[in-house]
Amino acid sequence: MMCSDTVLRQLLPEQVAAVVIQEGIATQYPWTAGMYKDCLEAGYWVGALIERDTILGLAVVTSAVGEAHLLNMWVDLHRQGRGLGRTLLRAVIAHAEDTEASSLFLEVRLGNGRARNLYESVGFREIGLRKDYYPGVVGREDAVCMALNLKQAMRQG
């Protein structure tokens, strides 16, 4: 749930260090500062869910030629399970629609059932599997490729 003090803003370069620390607590394989800086320099949408100067979650989206790709999304470890992921995902979808994308794609760890359930609940469907895509604790982990037909979602929504 978002409180009235929660806003969604483009991440600022000076916030990258704090984001890397927070994501490192929230996820097992966080992005590096360089990855975030590269995304910002490339003009990707890096939406930060912020409450009173605290970043609660973040999503990175790239868009081109009628397609959008969700590259990364996470929510602060201590605030998971409160609907913030759904709020952030809705913002991702709205951004993709604003860029006139007809489809939104993502990859998610095969073992991340919580995220897969969230994506499926808003209409994402599995379209494939990338073998050994992610680093794992032992070996590598497969990625489930998912897509959301934004034109269909807009008609249903």
Catalytic annotation, residues: 107, 119
- Residues 6 or more apart whose CB falls under 8 angstroms from that of 27 comprise 74
